[in-house]
Amino acid sequence: MSLQKKLAAEAIGTAWLVLGGCGTAVFTGSAAAAALAFGLTVLTMAYAIGHVSGCHLNPAVTIGLWLARRFDPKEVGPYIGAQIVGASAGAAIIAVVVKTGHGGATLGSFAANGVGDQSPGTYKLLAGLITEVVMTFFFLFIILGATSKRAPAGFAPLAIGLGLTLVHLISIPITNTSVNPARSISQALFAGSDYLKHLWIFILAPAAGAALAGLTYKLLDDES
């Protein structure tokens, strides 16, 4: 498969993740519905494009797979770029629907991630950092295990989708759940300065959690 096709698949898939997950949060206001929607976006796209690009949809996933020696390091940068482009396109579609749907509609928090006053439960910075590192660690751990050569064949999308749903059920009240820098960047661009100032948390913490998962899982399951 050519790199161009892989990048196109990643951009389309990440746009779907943002449309499905963040769109549900914005349009319904339901944390439980958003948690389920994020899981469903990954589940559906895993079957749609898993055979094309591997269906990362997330820079943290790409980093974790690379450190676990499951991914070509030369493709890390292009994949991350495609994911950010796709996520931003998905966020732009949500913004257009919001702004054209009702007179005087505002984007508000736009399902962006935050801590302190921008946290749904007003959780502080340290709580947000811990949550994002730990949740991303376990999400990547699930991905690495479910996609191992020794794992039961055909069930990886289910495990990964359900894992992401659980991650959101746990952490939406704390940070609105990132575990995905592309998703965080895309929403913060539209939510504005209050959320942009916290964006570094949702880039560094998921990357750190993914890196830890990649290195840890490599010690447990040293597959060729």
Please give the residue range of the domain that contains residue 28.
3-220
What CATH number did the domain enclosing 145 receive? 1.20.1080.10
pTM: predicted TM-score of the whole model, two decimal places = 0.94
Q: What is the DSSP string of the chain?
A: --HHHHHHHHHHHHHHHIIIIIHHHHHH--HHHHHHHHHHHHHHHHHHHHHHH----SHHHHHHHHHTT-S-GGGHHHHHHHHHHHHHHHHHHHHHHHHHHSTT---TTTT---SGGGSTT---HHHHHHHHHHHHHHHHHHHHHHTSTTSPTT-HHHHHHHHHHHHHHHHHHHHS--S-HHHHHHHHHHH-HHHHTTTTHHHHHHHHHHHHHHHHHHHH----
Total structural domains in the chain? 1
pLDDT tens, per residue, the chain with 224 residues: 899 999 999 999 999 999 999 999 999 999 999 999 999 999 999 999 999 999 999 999 999 999 999 999 999 999 999 999 999 999 999 999 998 987 667 788 999 999 999 999 999 999 999 999 999 999 999 999 999 988 887 899 999 999 999 999 999 999 999 999 999 999 999 998 889 999 999 999 999 999 999 999 988 876 54
